[in-house]
Amino acid sequence: MNAPLIAPSILAADFSRLGEEIARVEQGGADLLHVDVMDGHFVPNLTFGPMIVKAIDKLTRLRLSTHLMMTDPEPFAEAFVKAGSDDVIVHIESYPDPRRVLGKIQGFGARRGLTLNPETPFEAIEPFLKDVDVLLVMSVHPGFGGQAFIPEALPKLTRARELKSRHGYAYEIHIDGGIDLDTGPKAAEAGAEVLVAGSAIFKAPDPRARVEEMRRVAAQG
């Protein structure tokens, strides 16, 4: 098994010194940053918009993977791309047919991301997989960091991997929520190519070392 990519989720970082927090995980070998946008409506929590994403982009050379937990993100897609998002990930629960928003994201020059909540069956996204660059499987109910991993996400990862190889789809498979040194290897084994982790990295005694440790244990399976 290839070593998975590691995507620290800055939701768990100390925002009063975000530059240092990002620098630490970047030095630790993080492959990309996961950036959680919440609108207070799709989820019962509120974070930030394109203005802060632009500030984050100035702090790092890492790829920014922006996860939009928003009821209607489409009007903001261009602003998030202009702010520096390399991936723009929308929820199938926001748009039962996401083709138009995914087309716009691609047109603005970013990777098209699609995600689904734990209670949403994988079949809901299957018709759209050929038009997706990033497939994010949620393994917690979106809205907050620090929740326990929901193991029912594992068969979704395996299905994502199967369909990818069977049809030659191009998407990269991410797992998001409750990923730590125990669940990361299980997710990688099931098919995850990118491990998104917030608390397990930023709340670790040494976040820099934790990035490398997470990659190592997940590669060993």
Task: Pick between residue 98 and residue 178 the one whose CB is nearest to ligand DX5.
Answer: 178
DSSP symbols for 33-101: EEEEEEBSSSSS-B---HHHHHHHHHH-SSEEEEEEE-S--GGGHHHHHHTT-SEEEEETTT-SS-HHH
Binding to ligand DX5, residues 182-221 (CB under 6 A): 196-200
Q: Which residue has the tokens 């979106």?
A: 142
| 3-class state of residue 120 by DSSP | coil
Contact stretch for Zn ion (CB under 5 A) within 13-21, 95-103, 172-180, 185-193: 172-180
Q: Distance between CA 158 and CA 26 in Å, rounded? A: 29
Looking at beta carbons, which residue is closest to ligand DX5? Answer: 198
Distance of CA 183 to the CA centre of its chain: 16
Q: Are strands 134-138 and 111-116 parallel, antiparallel or unpaired?
A: parallel
Question: Contact between 176 and Zn ion (CB under 5 A)?
Answer: yes
How many residues contact ligand DX5, by CB under 6 A? 22
Contact stretch for ligand DX5 (CB under 6 A) within 55-63, 90-98, 144-152, 158-166: 144-152
Q: Which of 39, 87, 133, 176 is catalytic?
A: 176
The question of whether 176 is a catalytic residue gets the answer yes
Catalytic residues: 36, 176
Q: Which residues bind ligand DX5 (CB under 6 A)?
A: 9, 11-12, 34, 36, 67, 140, 142-147, 176-179, 196-200
